[in-house]
Structure 1
Amino acid sequence: MLETVKTLCALDGVSGTEDSVRAYIKSRVAALSADVRTDAMGNLIVFKKGRKTPSKSLMLCAHMDEVGIIVTGITEDGYLKFDFAGGIDRRVVIGKPVFIGAHKVFGVIGNKAYHLVKRDERDKIPSVEEMYIDIGAKGREEAAKLVSLGDTGAFDGSILEFGNGFIKAKALDDRVGCAALLELLETDLPVDCTFVFTVQEEAGTRGAFGASFSVRPDIALIVEGTTAADLPSVSSAKRVCSLGKGVVIPFMDRSTIYNRELYTLLTSLADKNSIPWQTKTYISGGTDAGAVQRSRAGVMTAGIAAPLRNLHSPSSVGCVSDFDAVYKLAEVFLKEIGERY
């Protein structure tokens, strides 16, 4: 599981440009006896038969895209103007390296030099309009040969294992979910299942909405990463969940009230199989579940997630034991669905 997570996180797949992530997953499933297709949105949809065909169709879903930047302009001096693709905290991007476009042009995000900052500006977070990306170009013409408007940029993908089972990487949200689905696909499945690797989740859960109409599931499990906020500066009432305490099984977030029957099933399966789990103690965030649940006449939808610190930043932090718990719970969920339906 860990090696798959690391491989996926090293790939760039900002919302709308998930090609390299999709290509890698597609290469891994090519040898399987599975039906593989890519829809008009770019979702990768993989159906694999299991030992049983249930009466209710099942879909597992994880998103391939990550947050990043998108180029919106080039100045006369050769600097790039940009906006964010996905929700990013402006405080964490200044001075961070990015790789832009298909040719991975290197750049560094900057803003006004500190000695020019006025006293009343020092406690303010610069707006994205005040920032720029330096790609080392001498002027607009030179920069335009390297980068085009609309190109996306991903943060530096360096990966580091540290501490007691922790990992730092970009795009842990949601390459952890993709890794869990991919590892499950490579097993002998207990039940027929459609695995959907979605696009543009960070830009408004756009891929999942179309995929849900295409796949037409009765039951869906969304496998995600979720914000932990278990930091000294955050009060206990707002910490959401914690690293190292197992898989997160949410009952609600800002886009979904999860199916109560499936929520109860997941928590009981975790207890029965000694899988450490927790729930969100602060309602926050939203996932593909919101789009899936509201598709067609409605879908029975549940979610599981790995808790992550510094979500939507160049340096997300996760705990390997939590990743393993996510995989294990998804595995026993598939088995239970096969026995129930």
Structure 2
Amino acid sequence: MKDRIKGYLRDLTGLVGVSGSEQPVVQYLYKQLYSVADEIKIDNSGNVIAMKNGTEPGPKLMVSAHSDEVGFIVKNILKDGFIALDKIGGTPDTLLQGRKVWITDKKIPGIIGVKAGHMQSPEEMKRVKTIHECYVDVGASSKQEVENMGINIGDSVVFQSDFMEMHDKDLICTKSIDNRINCAVIIELFHHLKNADFAGTLYGVITVREEVGLQGAEMVGNSLKPDYAIVLDTIPAGDVPDIDTDKSLPVYIGKGPACPVSDGVVGTAFTHIHPKVREMIEEQSERMNVPLQLLTLNGQGYTTDAAKLSLMNGGVPIGIVATPRRYSHSPVELLNINDALGVLEIVKGIVIQNGKKDLRFIDIPSSITT
């Protein structure tokens, strides 16, 4: 199982799928899920919806991840053959200069240029350039030469990154672990449930455009109308020297999945998981002997598709199970594959137990209603 998930992750992180241009990832997911789902469809925006029918009636459960990654887009091709960029998603400016990139899903190589250190003033050495001050060098000397390579305005650009196993082979470093790891988990979940008995209907959903406003979740939540949903995403790990782990971000890689009870971006998104769905997550964590890291993360710029899903269809009860990873939105995101296996075990248990827990927000005593 671990090797299969690693294989899916290697394939998925090797694809270029910036928000709005997720086609290569969607194609891969369709091929992987086609044989293990009872029905699968791709909507007109690229959301993948794989359905598995249970053996008896029960609730509609949606388990979701997102297919897109942060990156860039070709803003313009300059007359001297350099390329101007815009950002898509939240990549820090500090990561830009001197990076190798891939352009389009054909992975045309390029470099984000950096002024020679010998020529930088003391002030330039201290200042971080913004995306609009940066440029990509593809080794061309004219706009026509760039276009002849097959590069056009609007094409996707991502950091070039290999799939690297650390000395401990369970630790994997590459780009777009956010959120290709949970795309891999959903593929493996459907394989595990191929001959399983459970009630109701499972919808395995992989959304588009999460990194630019949780857009795919809004589309799918209103169309599927699930009874409840479990959102699978990654979450920053705070177990590094430049973060006060215990006070700011008590999440560690290798210590199991995380469950953000409450998270949000000030003024734009807020999520508080549903009490009954939280019970499901905690019960399966205990039953499967999978450690669970509970935390809150409000006002820190972190949110998930759950923020949109919880508002769809009159309000969907939601929970979040997240895979910890270091170095968010960089070409060197790092995870422990065992945390992803823990996510799989918890979610699989919830599916098998589907329909056995009342989803009411409060328990009303019978003495009040009689």
Per the normalisation by structure 2, the TM-score is 0.88
Residue aligning to 1:292: 309
The Cα of 1:57 is off from its aligned counterpart by 1.4
Whole-Å separation in 1 of the counterparts to 2:297 and 2:316 = 24
Whole-Å separation in 1 of the counterparts to 2:167 and 2:37 = 39
Residue aligning to 1:163: 167
Select which of 223, 227, 232 maps to 2:241.
232
After the TM superposition, which parts of structure 1 deviate over 4 Å for at least 4 consecutive aligned residues?
A: none
Q: CA separation of 1:33/1:15 partners in 2, compared to 1, >3 Å: closer, same or farther?
A: closer
Aligned residue identity for 1:207:
G
Whole-Å separation in 1 of the counterparts to 2:113 and 2:355 = 53
Whole-Å separation in 2 of the counterparts to 1:51 and 1:157 = 43
Select which of 267, 285, 289 maps to 1:270.
285
The Cα of 1:124 is off from its aligned counterpart by 2.0
The Cα of 1:281 is off from its aligned counterpart by 5.0
Whole-Å separation in 1 of the counterparts to 2:164 and 2:91 = 21
Whole-Å separation in 1 of the counterparts to 2:244 and 2:119 = 35
Superposed CA offset, 1:75-121 (max 9, x none): 22111000111100111232221111243211111233323322223
Q: CA separation of 1:125/1:280 partners in 2, compared to 1, >3 Å: closer, same or farther?
A: farther
Select which of 97, 100, 119 maps to 1:116.
119
Residue aligning to 1:85: 88
Structure 2 residue 357 is the aligned partner of structure 1 residue 340: yes
Select which of 62, 69, 82 maps to 1:59.
62
- Given that residues 16 and 105 in structure 2 are in contact (C-alpha distance below 8 angstroms), is that contact kept between their aligned partners in structure 1? no
Residue aligning to 1:193: 202
Whole-Å separation in 1 of the counterparts to 2:255 and 2:35 = 35
Q: Secondary structure at the match of 2:254?
A: coil
Q: CA separation of 1:260/1:90 partners in 2, compared to 1, >3 Å: closer, same or farther?
A: same
Aligned residue identity for 2:287:
K
Residue aligning to 1:257: 272
- Given that residues 25 and 67 in structure 2 are in contact (C-alpha distance below 8 angstroms), is that contact kept between their aligned partners in structure 1? yes
Q: Secondary structure at the match of 1:231?
A: coil
Q: How does 1:95-106 map to 2 (within 5 A)?
A: 95-106=98-109
Residue aligning to 1:217: 226
The Cα of 1:240 is off from its aligned counterpart by 4.1
Superposed CA offset, 1:167-226 (max 9, x none): 001111111111111111122342420111111111111111101111111101001111
Residue aligning to 2:143: 140
The Cα of 1:304 is off from its aligned counterpart by 0.4
- Given that residues 52 and 338 in structure 1 are in contact (C-alpha distance below 8 angstroms), is that contact kept between their aligned partners in structure 2? no
Whole-Å separation in 2 of the counterparts to 1:103 and 1:171 = 17
Select which of 42, 48, 51 maps to 2:52.
48
The Cα of 1:339 is off from its aligned counterpart by 3.2
Superposed CA offset, 1:127-148 (max 9, x none): 1111111111111221122311
Residue aligning to 1:326: 343
Greater mean deviation of Cα atoms: 324-333 or 151-160: 151-160
Structure 2 residue 189 is the aligned partner of structure 1 residue 184: yes
Whole-Å separation in 2 of the counterparts to 1:291 and 1:281 = 18
| Percentage identity across paired residues of the two chains | 29
Residue aligning to 2:365: none
Q: CA separation of 1:6/1:53 partners in 2, compared to 1, >3 Å: closer, same or farther?
A: farther
The Cα of 1:333 is off from its aligned counterpart by 1.3
Residue aligning to 1:242: 252
Greater mean deviation of Cα atoms: 318-327 or 136-145: 136-145
Residue aligning to 1:313: 330
- Given that residues 240 and 282 in structure 1 are in contact (C-alpha distance below 8 angstroms), is that contact kept between their aligned partners in structure 2? no
Superposed CA offset, 1:241-285 (max 9, x none): 110110001101113111122113212321232111102354330
Greater mean deviation of Cα atoms: 248-257 or 92-101: 92-101
- Given that residues 37 and 45 in structure 1 are in contact (C-alpha distance below 8 angstroms), is that contact kept between their aligned partners in structure 2? yes
- Given that residues 63 and 229 in structure 2 are in contact (C-alpha distance below 8 angstroms), is that contact kept between their aligned partners in structure 1? yes
Select which of 35, 38, 41 maps to 2:39.
35
Q: Secondary structure at the match of 1:196?
A: strand
- Given that residues 102 and 109 in structure 2 are in contact (C-alpha distance below 8 angstroms), is that contact kept between their aligned partners in structure 1? yes
Superposed CA offset, 1:263-320 (max 9, x none): 1321232123211110235433011111111112110011101000011111110001
Aligned residue identity for 1:109:
I
Count of aligned positions: 340
Whole-Å separation in 2 of the counterparts to 1:293 and 1:43 = 18
Q: Secondary structure at the match of 2:140?
A: coil
Whole-Å separation in 2 of the counterparts to 1:313 and 1:41 = 26
Q: Which has the larger radius of gyration?
A: 2
Whole-Å separation in 1 of the counterparts to 2:234 and 2:220 = 20
Q: Secondary structure at the match of 1:340?
A: coil
Unaligned runs of 5+ in 2: 359-370
- Given that residues 24 and 105 in structure 2 are in contact (C-alpha distance below 8 angstroms), is that contact kept between their aligned partners in structure 1? no
- Given that residues 201 and 287 in structure 1 are in contact (C-alpha distance below 8 angstroms), is that contact kept between their aligned partners in structure 2? yes
